[in-house]
Amino acid sequence: MNNERILNLAIRYGFLVLLAGIVMYFSLAAEGFASPRSAVFVLQSVAITGILALGVTSTLVVDGFDLSIGSVATSSLMLSAYSMVILEYSALVTVLLCLTMGALVGLVNGLLIVKMRVPDLLATLGMMFLLIGLQRIPTQGNSIATGMRLPDGSIAEGTFAAEFLWIGRHRFDMFIEKLFPMPVVVFLLVAVAVWLFLGFTRHGRLMYAIGSNQRAAELVGTNVSRYKVLAYMISGVLASVGGILLAARLGRGDIASGNNLLLDSVAAALIGFAVLGAARPNAFGTAIGALFVGILLQGLTMMNAPYYTQDFVKGAVLVAALVFTFYLSSRRSSAGRH
Amino acid sequence: MSQTICEVRGVEKSFGSNRVLRGIDLAMRAGEVTVLMGANGAGKSTLVKVLCGVHSADKGELALAGNPYTPVDAADAISQGVVTVHQSIDDGVIPDLDVATNLMLDKLTAPGAGLFVNDRKLRAEARKVAEAMGLTMNVRQLVSELDVADRQMIAIARALARSPKLLILDEPTSSLSATEAERLFALIDRLRSAGVAILYISHRMSDIRRIADRIVSMRDGSISGLFDTQPLDYEGAVTSMLGHAMTDVDITPATNSAPILCLKAIKLREDSPPIDLVANDGEVIAVTGLLGSGKSQLAEVIFGLSRPIAGKMELDGGSYQPANAKSAVSAGVFMSPKDRASNAVIPDFDIANNMTLPFLGSFSRYYKLSDQKQRRASEEMIGSIGIVCQSNRDGIGTLSGGNQQKVMIARWLLKPGRVLLLDEPFQGVDIGARRDIGRHIRATAKGRATIVFVAEIDEALEIADRIIVLNEAAIAGEHINQNIDLAKLVAEVSGPSRSPALAG
Amino acid sequence: MFLRRQMLKLTGAAALTLGMGGVALAGDMPAPFDKAGEVKIALVRYLSTGDFFQSYLSGVETQAEALGVDLRVFDSRQDAALQADMVDQAIALGVDGIIIQHGLTESMKDAAQRAVEAGIKVVAFDVNVENTAIPQVEQSDYMLGKLALEQAVVDNGDNFTAGYVYVPGIAPLDRRDVAWEDIKAANPGIKQAAMFGTLDNPIANSVANQARSVLQANPNINVIFAPYDEFAKGVKIAVDEAGLTSDIKIYSADVSTADISAMREPGSAWAATVATNPAVVGEVSVRTLALMLAGETPDAQVIVPPTLITQDFLNAEDIKNMGDLGSKMPQFAHADVSMADWMPLPKR
């Protein structure tokens, strides 16, 4: 009985305790780690992957998976550059264009899965390749920057609108002047919204039901197809938000595959399984998972750890989180049964 | 014919503090079918698992043909001649391979099997095995293309191909039709005369009457009764299994109330006659029939999961044509489906969330779900239907089958509906829970029409005001549940071509 | 037969006239370029995404066009095995010459040898295929690093605290690293406070995240050596975000239109970069191959010299893009390497 309680506590709070321990360690070992500025840096470095991870989470909830988020984000990055630099649209139009693109990709993903019965991994893998290619077609594979020579020989005159750069670069005053960056605000807003939606509305609850037993959810009168499509649309829109922030931060349309974005955000969502012993995708856990990785990387960088240790550490955290989730939880459920 | 093949002496097994087997003594003799009866939780499955090497006994010993028998795992048990056909069909077959490969799977996994598969030889051998079983399907067909009953027959055929000393069949007829069951029984007869000892686990009285040489009843981890003098005392076996006599449920059939659901000339199949049926307010109708009689199809049509070939339905006098489950539910037609594990239970959810799933909208304030409302409503239900649990936060997986089923049915009692359909509500439910459910359904029947779809006649007798017999997608008989002519009822269930005695 | 040959000549001449503004005629060129339209060359690439590689490709294309030869581009997208297969494909296609652009020595060595055995002229750019028959075109990465660092010493004196962005194991970065080690050895006053770097996509974003942590942990850094423009972009984002624009100077290598606008932002921390025009490198690669096809033997190493580009110069000349840079800085637009009298040059 006593053992069982310890096990339960370990599953519930183990990961948070580990997080607290790591923060303590870095605070002592790395000078300047424990400061509001440093905290904001961590938040900023995880903001974009965090937003993407929340999108992945919403597809994981319906027992799906979205491999296309990284490429949706980079497509949104390219689209925003194309829209402002070449088409010379305003910031607002550009943002709307990107969000629409994300929703549309999500819709197509969802319809492929629900209507065409393509397995989720395959459908979104196909979409990933499609987008990686598609985002390069309008510029013939070139990055987009003001002053670039267009295929027809003219020079691109448009620039990134100041309002658009504001989304990625503005800092709000808080404790210290110009401390709190806009992308972090967006990340926190998205995290709270997804957390409320998945955890506290009937739509979220039905999506969890679909993920756990699709047939049963269908037989209580849930429109399974619609919710699945919705999950992929959330994922697509959030990925495009991530791309917008990325574009605003970089200030140009850099071609990139977005594979690192995909892997990092999937890792954050999976680490999230372990938080509070949820053993299932959840928005709070995903946000904590993203933070966890961000804190580790910040601390390691400040301690001059070489770049290759960072992937190693990410992998180690992910494996530890998966052990928390699957091994300990299975121990708990078997202990609970008898 | 009385040589003891397998002997169990003083076997005990505990999981934590839970003593599941408390000293079992049992002997299985060559050429004899021993039927093992027991309510859910009596320890039957644990005993089977000890015999087939999945669990090891804490205490006591096993002997096979006079030698000590201590299987280290399932494969070891099989190689020593103890072969088990488990209840869950999908554990027994590989759907993506063809029939021949499935039948010959053990040959392929046996040590010393060749690297390459000779398909022609494989199929020839498979054909022999299939013929011996009376299986007629093409051995090249994929198992996934077969129906459930055929898959079960393949699992059994494969078990037999291993020429077992002791064959354990765990509820093998639960998904078989009467014809297929009879094929299985014929096979068991043949094995019996060949000297194989058979341990047969079943609830079904019809099966037991047909094949039992002796009956062993289990209750609470012990043997509570052994019946081996002919004629077998079936009543006594049931009594010792339950610990009390099977009491008849008193039913006074409801009459003369307003019609709620009308089925008008519904045709389920191209070649079947139309079905007319009126379900009245406060009435509980049982639709009974064999597997394949059209029961489930009828339930699906009413719940909007499939469309009838012809005919129409009316609900409270208006036209009712549900396009899917969603529109059925919003019209007030609810269904608790069969096979709750795959069709109803949300394994990740606790009791309260499983129960309130269909009506989450009414447990919300604006857009936010009210946890408190959900808990309060499910707490009430837990009390009124009698769900045994620690609290409404228990994971659904921690409950016994009967209690899970209570949650699944309680789901549809939270809100007043017009029609409640229960498809095989007593599947995998022990007798106590079955009585609780039946009582509650009848107690709440006012204000709606209730239709229960069951294969077992005694379940129908226990719950219904009116019993409708389906056969070949047609109504074969209709009875008010009072002084029923059982022989006639059974005859209607079995259909004109079969003798009533067969189905018990 | 006669007619077809005439036609080819005509089209070849037409192409050259368009490309060259009529400076040279097909007839002036040695064989096989007297029938340039029948000469097929292949560019087999390992790396292709990024401004540098796009620009390199455009140089290859314009020089090939100026010569009037038929250019095929094979792009293995960082798949070393595929790149080797592509060399074999080019051999099968019956090309006259191959340019191998980047790649791994291990995978390309045998493939390059097969091409040489098939009688094909081969030039390698930025990859050592260990073959004496194959000249190497190189931009001098050591010189890139050295010129940037010398400018850093001119601007900041020989006494400063530096952050260094480096990912070991990448050949050009390793060669630039040698320059960094040399300058540190020669100037004991230069201290390296932190070394960081990553190649995670998008690189600038990932480097920015790291650089911010580094700047916070080492507030005394006043120079950052980021010898790759993606690194420099990331560092600049971090410097701007930390509000340290006026306290830190960034020295880098490589240049692109976007880099120019980043360097020219008001008060930009990006002080100088050193670059070889990738388009020029592309042109030199093709010219070297052309010399070999015409029967000449170029040096084993063909080095394209780099140019120092300072923020002050860009502002003074109001340079907005690569085109401006080429016209205002002739040594950047053209390298006098692998030239011959008959060699047509791309039109500027």
A138-165 tens-digit pLDDT: 877 777 887 777 777 788 888 889 999 9
Which of A 236-295 lie inside 8 A of C, CB atoms?
A: 246, 249-252, 254-261
* Least confident range of B246-255, B295-304, C14-23, C53-62: C14-23
Q: CA-CA distances (angstroms) from residue C248 to B165, C222, C235?
A: 86, 4, 10
The DSSP code for A85 is: I
Q: How confident is the model at residue C79 (pLDDT cuts 50, 70, 90)?
A: confident
| Residues C27 and C174 occupy one common structural domain | no
User: Which is the CATH superfamily of the domain at B247-332+417-497?
Assistant: P-loop containing nucleotide triphosphate hydrolases (3.40.50.300)
| Residues C294 and C190 occupy one common structural domain | no
Task: Check C216 against A302: CB less than 8 A apart.
Answer: yes
Task: Check C200 against A257: CB less than 8 A apart.
Answer: no
Residue type, A65: F
Percentage of chain B surpassing pLDDT 70? 89
Residue A16 lies in a domain: yes
Q: What's the number of domains chain C is made of?
A: 2
Our CA angle for B380, B452, B351, nearest 5°, is: 30
Q: Which residues of A touch B (CB under 8 A)?
A: 196, 200-202, 204-206, 208-209, 211-213, 215-223, 280, 333, 335-338
Residues A280/A208, Cβ–Cβ less than 8 Å = yes
B169-179 tens-digit pLDDT: 887 776 676 77
The domain ranges of chain B are: 4-242, 247-332+417-497, 344-416
Q: How confident is the model at residue B115 (pLDDT cuts 50, 70, 90)?
A: low
A218-276 tens-digit pLDDT: 998 899 999 999 999 999 999 999 999 989 988 878 777 677 889 889 999 999 988 88
Return all residues near C139 (Cβ < 8 A) that are at least 6 apart. Answer: C126, C276, C281, C303, C304, C306
Task: Check A206 against B357: CB less than 8 A apart.
Answer: yes
The CATH number for C215's domain is 3.40.50.2300
- Nearest-by-Cβ selection for A208 from B348, B364, B368: B348
pLDDT of residue A14: 83
Return all residues near B74 (Cβ < 8 A) that are at least 6 apart. Answer: B52, B53, B54, B84
Chains near B with 3+ CB pairs less than 8 A apart are A
How many Å apart are CA B351 and CA B340, to the nearest integer? 14
Residues A232/A107, Cβ–Cβ less than 8 Å = yes
| Overall fold of domain B4-242 | Rossmann fold (3.40.50)
Q: In terms of residue numbers, what domain contains C55?
A: 2-139+278-305
C touches A (3+ CB pairs < 8 Å)? Answer: yes
Which pair of tokens denotes residue A216? 């049963």
pLDDT of residue B39: 67
Q: Backbone dihedral region of B339: left (phi > 0), alpha (psi from -120 to 50 degrees) or beta?
A: left
Residues A206/A217, Cβ–Cβ less than 8 Å = yes
Q: How confident is the model at residue B91 (pLDDT cuts 50, 70, 90)?
A: low
Residue B362 sits at the chain A interface (C-beta within 8 Å): no
Residues C210/C166, Cβ–Cβ less than 8 Å = no
Of B256, B268, B341, B269, nearest in space to B302 by CA: B268
Residue A263 lies in a domain: yes
Number of CB atoms found within 10 A of residue C65's CB: 19
Task: Check B360 against A206: CB less than 8 A apart.
Answer: yes
Residue A338 lies in a domain: no
- Nearest-by-Cβ selection for C204 from A37, A250, A310: A250
Strand partners of residue B261: B279, B315
The reply to whether B247-332+417-497 shares the fold of B4-242 is yes
Task: Check A310 against C198: CB less than 8 A apart.
Answer: yes
Residue A105 sits at the chain C interface (C-beta within 8 Å): no
**Whether the predicted pLDDT of A185 surpasses 90:** yes
Residue A4 lies in a domain: no
| Residues C236 and C254 occupy one common structural domain | yes
pLDDT of residue B483: 78
How many Å apart are CA A302 and CA C155, to the nearest integer? 27
Tell me the nearest-neighbour CA distance from A116 into chain B, angstroms.
19
Interface contacts (A, C; CB < 8 Å): 116
How many Å apart are CA A168 and CA A81, to the nearest integer? 13
Inter-axis angle of helices A329-337 and A2-29, to 10 degrees?
160
Residues B218/B37, Cβ–Cβ less than 8 Å = yes
Mean pLDDT of chain B: 83
- Nearest-by-Cβ selection for B345 from A206, A213, A333: A213
Contacts of B15 in chain A (CB under 8 A): 337-338
A38-82 tens-digit pLDDT: 888 888 889 999 999 999 999 999 999 999 999 999 999 999 999
Contacts of A219 in chain B (CB under 8 A): 303, 305, 325, 335, 337, 343-344
Strand order in the sheet with B18-29: B18-29, B4-15, B59-64, B67-68
Q: Backbone dihedral region of B23: left (phi > 0), alpha (psi from -120 to 50 degrees) or beta?
A: left
- Nearest-by-Cβ selection for C209 from A32, A45, A155: A45
Report ipTM (2 d.p.): 0.84
Secondary structure of B38-91 in HEC code, one letter for each residue:
ECCCCCHHHHHHHHCCCCCCCEEEEEECCEECCCCCHHHHHHCCEEEECCCHHH
Which uninterrupted H or E stretch holds C162? strand C161-165
Q: If DSSP codes are grouped into helix, strand and coil, which group holds residue C348?
A: coil
Mean pLDDT throughout B11-23?
A: 78
**Whether the predicted pLDDT of B392 surpasses 50:** yes
Task: Check C212 against A41: CB less than 8 A apart.
Answer: yes
Q: How confident is the model at residue C15 (pLDDT cuts 50, 70, 90)?
A: very low
Residues B342/B351, Cβ–Cβ less than 8 Å = no
Strand partners of residue B226: B216
How many Å apart are CA A234 and CA A100, to the nearest integer? 11
| Closest residue on chain B to A61 (Cα) | B348
How many Å apart are CA B266 and CA B308, to the nearest integer? 6
The DSSP code for B304 is: T
Residue B397 sits at the chain A interface (C-beta within 8 Å): yes
- Token pair 């030039």 is found at C123
| Residues C172 and C246 occupy one common structural domain | yes
The CATH number for A38's domain is 1.10.3470
| Residues C169 and C240 occupy one common structural domain | yes
B474-483 tens-digit pLDDT: 999 999 888 7
| Closest residue on chain C to A245 (Cα) | C205
Best of C45, C212, C268, C318 to substitute, by most chain A Cβ atoms within 10 angstroms, is: C212
Task: Check A338 against B16: CB less than 8 A apart.
Answer: yes
Chains near A with 3+ CB pairs less than 8 A apart are B, C
**Whether the predicted pLDDT of C14 surpasses 60:** no
End-to-end CA distance of chain C: 36
| Residues C125 and C180 occupy one common structural domain | no
pLDDT of residue A155: 82
Inter-axis angle of helices C229-241 and A224-250, to 10 degrees?
90
Q: How confident is the model at residue B497 (pLDDT cuts 50, 70, 90)?
A: very low
Residue C235 sits at the chain A interface (C-beta within 8 Å): no
B51-88 tens-digit pLDDT: 888 888 888 888 988 888 888 887 788 888 888 887 66
How many Å apart are CA A222 and CA A210, to the nearest integer? 8
Task: Check C243 against A178: CB less than 8 A apart.
Answer: yes
Inter-axis angle of helices A162-169 and A182-200, to 10 degrees?
70
B421-467 tens-digit pLDDT: 999 998 877 777 888 899 999 999 999 999 999 887 778 888 899 99
Cis omega (within 30 of 0) for bond into B496: no
Residue A309 sits at the chain C interface (C-beta within 8 Å): no
Chains near C with 3+ CB pairs less than 8 A apart are A
Residue C177 lies in a domain: yes
- Nearest-by-Cβ selection for C54 from A74, A141, A256: A141
Contacts of A33 in chain C (CB under 8 A): 217
Contacts of A205 in chain B (CB under 8 A): 353, 357, 360, 369
Q: CA-CA distances (angstroms) from residue C149 to A98, C140, C187, C221, C224?
A: 41, 14, 11, 15, 10
Residue B372 sits at the chain A interface (C-beta within 8 Å): no
| Residues C271 and C282 occupy one common structural domain | no
pLDDT of residue B262: 94
- Nearest-by-Cβ selection for B348 from A204, A212, A337: A212
Q: CA-CA distances (angstroms) from residue B360 to A109, A222, B352?
A: 28, 11, 11
β-strands A171-174, C191-196 pairing? unpaired
- Nearest-by-Cβ selection for A202 from B328, B329, B361: B361
Return all residues near A127 (Cβ < 8 A) that are at least 6 apart. Answer: A67, A68, A71, A105, A108, A109, A112
Domain boundary among C219, C253, C275: C275
| Residues C134 and C146 occupy one common structural domain | no
Task: Check B363 against A202: CB less than 8 A apart.
Answer: yes
Interface contacts (A, B; CB < 8 Å): 81
C134-172 tens-digit pLDDT: 999 988 889 999 999 999 999 999 999 999 999 888 878
pLDDT of residue A281: 92
Contacts of B368 in chain A (CB under 8 A): 196, 200-201
C181-228 tens-digit pLDDT: 999 999 999 999 999 998 888 889 999 999 999 998 899 999 999 999
What is the pTM assigned to this prediction?
0.76
A touches B (3+ CB pairs < 8 Å)? Answer: yes
Mean pLDDT throughout B146-169?
A: 80
Which pair of tokens denotes residue A152? 């027809």
Q: Which of residues B269 and B255 earns the better pLDDT score?
A: B269
pLDDT of residue B500: 38
Tell me the nearest-neighbour CA distance from A196 into chain B, angstroms.
8
pLDDT of residue C317: 93
Mean pLDDT throughout A287-316?
A: 84
Q: Backbone dihedral region of C182: left (phi > 0), alpha (psi from -120 to 50 degrees) or beta?
A: alpha
| Residues C262 and C283 occupy one common structural domain | no
Q: In terms of residue numbers, what domain contains A192?
A: 10-331
What residue spans of chain A are helical by DSSP H?
A: 2-29, 36-61, 69-81, 91-114, 120-134, 162-169, 182-200, 202-212, 214-219, 224-250, 259-272, 283-302, 307-322, 329-337
pLDDT of residue B170: 84
Mean pLDDT throughout B298-315?
A: 94
The DSSP code for C120 is: -
Residue burial B133-150, b: 16+ Cβ < 10 Å; e: rest: bebeeebeeebeebeebb
Residue C347 lies in a domain: no
- Nearest-by-Cβ selection for C258 from A32, A38, A252: A252
Residue C257 sits at the chain A interface (C-beta within 8 Å): yes
| Closest residue on chain A to B353 (Cα) | A205
Task: Check C54 against A31: CB less than 8 A apart.
Answer: no
How many Å apart are CA C161 and CA B165, to the nearest integer? 85
pLDDT of residue A148: 77
